[in-house]
Amino acid sequence: MVAATAVWTTEPDGTSIHGLDIAYVRDHVHGALHPVAHAYTMHFAGLVEVTLLLGLTPGVRGPRARFVAGSVAVLTAAVLALLAVNTLTETSPYADPSRALLDRTAAAVLIALALATLCAAVVLMRRGFVFYDGFVIAFLAGAGILHVVSMFLLAAVLDPRMSLTVWAWAPALCHLPAAGCAAALAAGTAADRREAVRPLPA
């Protein structure tokens, strides 16, 4: 979250644009911004929040920990669904057809993510630890890759008088190592669980 509140670029008039306000940078591009980068910058604030929430949940095993992690996953699904609804409601009926299609596609992807997260929460409550951990790891890694791709696409058409600071790339440097740490934690927890249930030698 520190990176999200830092300055990512500066407008030609000297106004700073912070990470959570990165959507405003779309007013300073030459040509058309790639749809992926357009959708990502529009939803960055919400996506970074859900990624942070999910990143706290892998590796849980105990009943109380599962309940808390499952609740966080349900909350994450609700936020994603809210982002989708907000995207649809903010689309003007007079918007360009291509823009309206882009918004509907982004909303559909967000709804799909919300449903997948909700299903993962249910699987976790039914002790599907491997599936849930794999889902969170994939979510974190996907978020990191999506951020890098979006920033490259944005930088390619950004006003030459503006440039992205190192903070603009920092979220990916958090998401990708977090995915690695989650994988290591899940593997270690699974190994401990196997060791605990291994029968004692006769």
pLDDT of 35 strictly over 70? yes
Q: Which helix (H) or strand (E) holds 135?
A: helix 129-157
Burial class (CB in 10 A: 0-12, 13-18, 19+), 201: exposed
What's the pLDDT score for residue 202? 47
Angle formed by the axes of helices 97-125 and 63-89, nearest 10°: 170
What's the pLDDT score for residue 1? 60
At 43, list the tokens. Answer: 């939803």
At 193, list the tokens. Answer: 């669980």
Cα atoms in the 13 Å half-sphere on the side-chain side of 150: 25
What's the pLDDT score for residue 200? 41
Higher pLDDT pick, 25 / 61: 25
At 166, list the tokens. Answer: 């190192």
pLDDT of 94 strictly over 70? no
3 state SS of 189: helix
What's the pLDDT score for residue 69? 92
pLDDT of 87 strictly over 90? no
Q: Say if CB 75 and CB 53 are below 8 A apart.
A: yes
Q: Which helix (H) or strand (E) holds 153?
A: helix 129-157
Determine the Cα–Cα distance for residues 20 and 36; give it in Å rounded to an integer: 17
pLDDT of 45 strictly over 80? yes
Nearest alpha carbon to residue 135 among 36, 51, 45: 51
Tens of pLDDT along 102-160?
888 889 999 999 999 999 999 999 989 889 999 999 999 999 999 999 999 999 999 88
Question: Residues 65-86: what's their mean pLDDT?
Answer: 93
Q: Say if CB 186 and CB 133 are below 8 A apart.
A: yes
With a pLDDT cut of 70, the percent of the chain lying above it is 92
Determine the Cα–Cα distance for residues 50 and 72; give it in Å rounded to an integer: 9
